[in-house]
């Protein structure tokens, strides 16, 4: 009798481990696309435990990975302000789709006060901006390895509460929102699948922050040597994603800023003298990034 109980318990443990491994594999594909560019992919069983801890698995039961308001945005519809439009299979840009009667704006130069009430959303590059650029009067929702798939995950402690970026944007209004993610997603999916998720996130930010200017930042390229030696983190891969997200800009309330046009890059690559690891720039050069943003300000 005792042996039967032991066998039954062992069988239950094995079956449970297999079941959680299968769930972990699924949740890896759905939710944990981004692994840090220096780490190995997530182990399915560990991912299952992490998904239960994070609560991300609940999306399976509520039918939405990114948003709580699925009725507002579907797979190929965008809502920018009060103007809804359909995106064609040829990636019709926001400039072409928006009403021509709405005023467009050109970049100008501003001073440091421009960043008052601004919000920066991003990965480790944005962490660097928050720490070393000299921008002191903005909100930073950034962390290492952040990806576009983390938009609705509770990864930030904001005003003493664990919240997602979406929840924070639902409660706090900003005048400007800077978004830069994408390098951690280079090993996941295709530029097109990344763009679809990115497009939906931008649309949701637009609906939550109707009065804010949205600045889509192109991802900083890597050095030529890094691009040549890495299978996924390549300048070709980064540029393909940048080209797609740039189509969301309309020069009305959504703008595209390409840091690769600054002196940090030359000949289609990050200048090696400016970086310590071929991917991130050295601390002393982040003020160049800030100055570049200030020279691409929008004054309404």
Residue 211, token pair as written in the block: 């009065």
Give the span between the Cα atoms of 300 and 105, in whole angstroms: 8
Give the span between the Cα atoms of 195 and 293, in whole angstroms: 23
Give the span between the Cα atoms of 143 and 145, in whole angstroms: 6
What one-character-per-residue DSSP string does 144-187 give? TT--GGGTTS--EEETTEEE-HHHHHHH---SEEEEE--GGGTT
What pLDDT shows up at residue 79?
Answer: 35
What pLDDT shows up at residue 15?
Answer: 82
- Could you read off the pLDDT tens digit of each residue along the chain, which spans 300 residues? 666 667 777 777 778 777 777 776 665 554 444 434 433 345 776 656 655 544 444 444 433 333 333 223 233 333 333 333 333 333 434 444 444 456 899 999 999 999 999 999 999 999 999 999 999 999 999 999 999 999 999 999 998 999 999 999 999 999 999 999 999 999 889 999 999 999 999 999 999 999 999 999 999 999 999 999 999 999 999 999 999 999 999 999 999 999 999 999 999 999 999 999 999 999 999 999 999 999 999 998
Give the span between the Cα atoms of 135 and 140, in whole angstroms: 10
What pLDDT shows up at residue 193?
Answer: 96
What pLDDT shows up at residue 230?
Answer: 95
Length of the chain measured in residues: 300
Task: Give residue limits of the domains in the chain.
Answer: 2-62, 77-294
User: Which position has the token pair 């949205």?
Assistant: 214
Give the span between the Cα atoms of 24 and 48, in whole angstroms: 4
What pLDDT shows up at residue 34?
Answer: 41
Coil/strand/helix, residue 257: strand
Residue 45, Cβ density class (10 Å: 0-12 exposed, 13-18 middle, ≥19 buried): middle
0.75 surpassed by pTM: no
What pLDDT shows up at residue 24?
Answer: 66
77-294 — its CATH code?
Answer: 3.40.50.1110
Residue 15, token pair as written in the block: 């079956």
Give the span between the Cα atoms of 205 and 78, in whole angstroms: 11
What one-character-per-residue DSSP string does 200-227 give? HHHHHHHHH-TTSEEEEEEPPP--HHHH
């Amino acid at each position: 009798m005792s042996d039967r109980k032991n066998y039954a318990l062992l069988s239950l443990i094995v079956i449970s481990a297999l079941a959680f491994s299968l769930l972990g594999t699924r949740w890896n594909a759905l939710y944990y696309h981004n692994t840090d560019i220096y780490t190995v992919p997530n182990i399915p069983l560990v991912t299952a435990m992490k998904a239960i801890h994070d609560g991300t698995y609940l999306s399976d039961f509520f039918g939405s990975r990114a948003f709580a308001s699925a009725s507002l945005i579907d797979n190929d519809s965008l809502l920018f302000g009060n103007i809804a439009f359909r995106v064609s299979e040829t990636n019709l840009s926001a400039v072409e789709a928006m009403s021509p009667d709405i005023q467009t704006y050109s970049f100008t130069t501003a001073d440091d006060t421009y960043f008052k009430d601004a919000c920066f959303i991003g990965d480790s590059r944005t962490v660097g901006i928050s720490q070393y650029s000299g921008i002191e009067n903005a909100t930073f929702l950034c962390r290492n390895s952040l990806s576009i798939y983390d938009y609705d995950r509770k990864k930030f402690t904001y005003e003493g509460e664990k919240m997602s970026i979406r929840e924070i944007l639902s409660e706090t209004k900003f005048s400007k929102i800077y978004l830069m993610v994408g390098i951690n997603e280079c090993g996941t999916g295709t530029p097109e699948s990344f763009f679809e998720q990115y497009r939906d996130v931008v649309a949701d930010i637009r609906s939550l922050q109707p009065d804010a200017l949205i600045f889509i930042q192109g991802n900083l390229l890597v050095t030529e040597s890094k691009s040549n030696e890495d299978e996924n983190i390549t300048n070709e891969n980064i540029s393909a994603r940048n080209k797609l997200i740039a189509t969301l800009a309309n020069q009305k309330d959504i703008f595209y800023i390409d840091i690769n046009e600054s002196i940090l890059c030359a000949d289609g690559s990050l200048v090696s003298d400016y970086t310590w690891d071929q991917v991130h720039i050295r601390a002393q050069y982040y003020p160049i990034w800030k100055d570049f943003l200030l020279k691409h300000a929008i004054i309404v």
